[in-house]
Amino acid sequence: MALLQINNLSKEYVMGDNVLRALDAVNLSIERSDYVAITGTSGSGKSTMLNILGCLDRPSEGHYILNQKDVSQLNPDELADIRNREIGFIFQSFNLLPRATALENVMQPLIYQGVSRGDRKRRAEEALKHVGLGSRMDHLPNQLSGGQRQRVAIARALVTKPSILLADEPTGNLDSRTTIEIMKLFDELHAQKQTIIVVTHEAEIANHCHRIVRLEDGHVAEDRRNQPMVH
């Protein structure tokens, strides 16, 4: 049984008198422990795909089955609950709380899950050690490098033990050396059986993934297995 299944899915946006069809009858299946890049040029539909996969938006037509549950027509509160339990988000701009320490940032998603303070702290400490930041837990974001901030964001995404890590241009704000470090961390997480979906327009980032899905004008133009780069 696939972890994630999209059947005949379309998304339309009404813009004045025009209707923009951002995704057009897309079919896609992603297995547990898969490591997938969703790629394409600007306007190909990958941001719309990210929003639907991340339960931030709903399709106009078709079905999205996540962990055997049809989430296509859930209301906003139900979608928020699925997001919090099933999906760990990693953003290009890190989205950290500036006045909270690394530890407090990582504890944040667990508050919404009703986890007790002691357990929140323990799990957040484990997640930060997991990404190599055990010695930086009390630092504020502005006391950390870009790569360290993205590691905090990855720890925050991992702390809820999500079914899927969903990364949106995760190295867009990083230099090339730090990009290699972050992608190496993704490779390690995948080796530990974490399902990872990376949305990127960069071929070099996509090449780390074991499968590449290329979108073009709202369609899947290519879906192929990939021999990932090794550093």
Asked whether the predicted pLDDT for residue 231 surpasses 60, the reply is: no
Most confident of 77-81, 90-94, 170-174, 209-213: 209-213
Between 10 and 73, the higher pLDDT residue = 10
Q: Please list, in sequence order, all residues whose beta carbon lies within 8 angstroms of the beta carbon of residue 122, skipping any fewer than 6 positions away.
A: none
CA-based Rg of the chain, rounded to a whole angstrom? 18
E strand map for 91-225: 164-168, 195-200, 211-216, 219-225
Please answer whether residues 218 and 24 qualify as being in contact, where contact means their C-beta atoms are separated by less than 8 angstroms. yes
How is the beta sheet containing 87-90 ordered, strand by strand? Answer: 87-90, 164-168, 195-200, 35-39, 211-216, 219-225
pLDDT on residue 42: 87
pLDDT of residue 92: 85
Tens of pLDDT, residues 122-131: 999 999 999 9
Share of residues in the chain with pLDDT > 70 (%): 99
| pLDDT score for 9 | 95
In this predicted structure, the answer to whether residue 59 has a pLDDT above a threshold of 70 is yes
Q: 217: buried, middle or exposed (CB in 10 Å: 19+, 13-18, 0-12)? A: middle
Predicted confidence (pLDDT) at residue 97 exceeds the cutoff of 70: yes
* pLDDT score, position 228: 75
Among candidate residues 194, 122, 113, the one with its CA nearest the CA of residue 158:
194
Give the pLDDT confidence of 2-35 residue by residue, as tens digits: 899 999 999 999 988 998 889 999 999 999 999 9
> For the chain, which residues make up each domain, given as ranges?
4-225
What average pLDDT does the structure give for the chain?
91
Residue range 141-190, pLDDT digits in tens: 999 999 999 999 999 999 999 999 999 999 988 888 899 888 999 999 99
Determine the pLDDT at residue 206: 92
- For CA atoms 106, 128, 152, 180, the dihedral sign is negative
pLDDT for 229 equals: 65
Tracing tokens 């990376």 back to the chain, one arrives at: 198
Spell out the residues 6+ positions from residue 14 whose beta carbon is closer than 8 angstroms to its own.
20
Give pTM, 2 decimals: 0.91
| Domain 4-225, CATH class in plain words | alpha beta
